[in-house]
Structure 1
Amino acid sequence: MASEADKARAALEKVQRKECNRFCADCGTKDPGWASFNLGLFMCIDCSGIHRSIGTHITKIKSCSLDTWKMEWVKVMKAVGNDRANAVWEARLDPSKKPQPDATMGQRESFIRSKYERALWKGDPREAAARKAEDAARADDERAAEEEEKHSAEIQRRMHPRSTEDFEILYNELENWRAHETRRIEEAGLPERERLEALAQLLHKETKLLQTIDRLKIGATKENRERRIARMLELMSEPKKWEMSDGETAQVHTPFSTRAKELQELYSGLNLPMLTVDERLDVLLHVKWTVKEFDCLLTREVVDLIDREADLLNRGRSEKSLEGLRRRISNLFLQFIETPEFNPEAARFQKVPRDLSTRPSVRPVTDSMIRLGKTG
C-alpha cells in the first residue's frame, strides 16, 4: 500500500504537469523542478536559490523530486499554481520587465526580491483578471482587423491585380470555374443540342473573362512601369548623406543630384494631364532647352518632336490626336535622363556600363557626321 509521501509525490507530479506549471514562475525556464509550497508556485533551480536567500518568512522552498512532500502542501500547489500566483504578485508588472531564461543571477535576484520581498507589483487578482480580459479582447480585435485587412487585400488582388502572382490567381480561378461549369453541364443530362449550346455559352463567357484579364494585365504593366520610373527618378534626385565631424548625418544636394531633381520635375511636367496650351508650351520649352545643351541624334529627335507638337498646339489640334506624339517625346526624354553622359546620377542604375561607341543615338554630332549625312 502506498505511503502518504508516495501519494503526495504522485499528486504533486500531476499538478506539475499542468500547462501553467511547466515553466518557472519567475523567469520562464522550461520544466521547473522546485516549488514554493506556501506561495503555491513552481520555479527553476536558479530562482529557487534566490527564494531561499529571501527567507522562510516569505517563501518556503522544496525540491519536487528530492524532498519529501506532505499532502497539505500539495493541496496549496494545486489550489494556486503559477498562473494564479502571478496574477497576484505580477498584477501591475509590465511583461517586458520580466526576466527571461537566459537572465543573469543579478537580474533574477533584483526581480525576485522586488516581486516577493518588496511586493512592488502585487495587486488584486481581479484587477489582473480584468486586465487579462482586456488584453484578450484587444488581441481578438487585432486578429479580426488583420483578417479583415487580409480579406480586403485578397479582394484587391482580384479587382486590381498588379503582380505575376495576382494574375496567376485569376487564371487558376478561371480554370477552376470553367472545369466546374463544364462538369455541371455534362452531368445535367441535357439533350445533345442543349448541351452543345450550353458549352458554347460557357466558351463565350470564358473568352470574355480572358479578354478582361488581358486588359487588366495591360493596365498593370503600364502602372508598374510608371511606378518603377517614378521610384528611379526619386532615387536619382535624393540628397547625399554625409557624416559630420560630430557624428551627425547631414543631407546635402550635389550638382549631380540637383540636375537629377530638375530632370525629374521636367519629366513629371511632360506627363501631367489637363494642362492648358500655354502651360504645355512652357513645359515643352524647358525640356527643349535642357536637351539642346547636348547635340546628338537623340536630342535632335526630341527637339524636332517638341517643335512638331508646339506647331500642332498652335493650330488647335485636339488632345486626343497628340497622345502618340506626347508618348514618344516622354519616352525619348526618359532615355535622355537614363543616359549618364547627360545625367551622371543615372550611372548608378546601369546594371552593365555601356560604351558610348555602342550608342550612336547619344554620341555627339560632329562635322564629319553632318557631311556624311548621318544625322537624320
Structure 2
Amino acid sequence: MPDEAKRPAATARPTIKDVAAVAGVGFKTVARVVNGEPGVKEATAERVRKAIDQLGFRRNDGARLLREGRRTSSIGLILEDVSDPFYSQLSRAVEEVARAHGSLLFTGSSAEDASRERELALALCARRVDGLIVVPTAADHGYLAPEVAAGTSVVTVDRPVAGLDVDTVLCDNAGGSRTGVEHLLRQGHRRIGYLGDSENIFTAAERLHGYRGAMADARCPVQDTWVSMGPPDLVHIRLALERMLVGRWPVTALMCGNNRTTVAVLRELAALDRHPALVGFDDFELADLLSVPVTVVAQDPAQMGRTAAELLFRRIEGDRGQSQRITMPTRLLPRGSGEQPA
C-alpha cells in the first residue's frame, strides 16, 4: 500500500484519479476494475477495491452514459403540487412504470408558476433526462422546442400545450362536470351553484364549460352570483357561498370543480349549518366516510399517470409516429350528498 504522502487531499467527491493515487496504479487500471473489464491481476484489483471503499468513490454513471452517447435511464415529472392527492397518485403510477423500465424518476412542483415550471424543466433537461412528463402551467412552451428537437421526449398530462407537437393525456373535464350537474338536475334542482379554480387553468375552464352546457340544455338560466372561480382558500369560498345561499333565489345545490374546493366548501357549510346538495369533481380521502358521504365525479389519476409514462417510454425507445391526444373518462360515484332532492 502506498505511504500516506501519496494519499490525495480529501475532496467532496473522489475521482478515479484519487483512487489511482491511493491504490498506486494507473488511471486505466482503475477504470477497468470499476467497469468490470478483464486484464487486471486479482491482487491489483483487490487493492483498487480497497481504495474505492476507503475513499467512498462512486462511479458517475450519468457522465459515462453521456460520453458513450447512451441514455441516462432517468425521466423527469413536473406537477402542479406534489402534495395534492390527485398528483401524488399520478406520480406514484409514473414511478412504477419508470421502475419497470429500469429508470429513475425525478419529480418537482411548479406551484402553478410558469417561471418555476420552465426552470425545473430546463434543469432536468440540462441533466439529460431521457424524457419529461409535464403538467403544463406556462402559456408558452416554446422553450421546450429545442429540447424536443435535440431528442428529449416530452408528454403532457392533465392539460395540453399549444405550439408543441407532443403526446397528451387528459381527463374528460367538460363531460365529467356535465355528468355531475345532470345528476343534480335529475334530483329536481334548478338553482345549482358552481365553484371552480381560476378560469385561466385549462381544467377549470373546461369544467365550467360543462356546467354551463348542462344548465343551458336544461333551460336553467345561470345567475352571476351562482358562479365563483378562483383559488380554493377559505375566505374566497366563504364569500362565494354567502352570495349563493342568500337572497331571493338561493341555490339548492352545488357543483365543486376540484377536490380542494370541495373540502373547503364542506368546512364552510358546516360552519354555516347549511346543507345544499353537493357533487364534487375529483374523489378525496374519507369522502365516503363523512356523516353525509360525498358524491363525486371521479377521475383515475393513476391510470392517467400510467398512460402518460407508457407513451413517454414508447417515444424514448424510438416510436416516431404521430402524436396522440388521449382523453380518459370519468365516472359518477353517488354516495348521498348529491342525491338530496330539491
TM bucket normalised to smaller = under 0.3
What is the TM-score with the length of structure 2 in the denominator?
0.22
State the structure with more CA Rg: 1
Of structures 1 and 2, the one scoring higher in RCO (CA 8 A, sep 6+) is: 2
What is the TM-score with the length of structure 1 in the denominator?
0.20
Larger strand percent? 2
Larger helix percent? 1
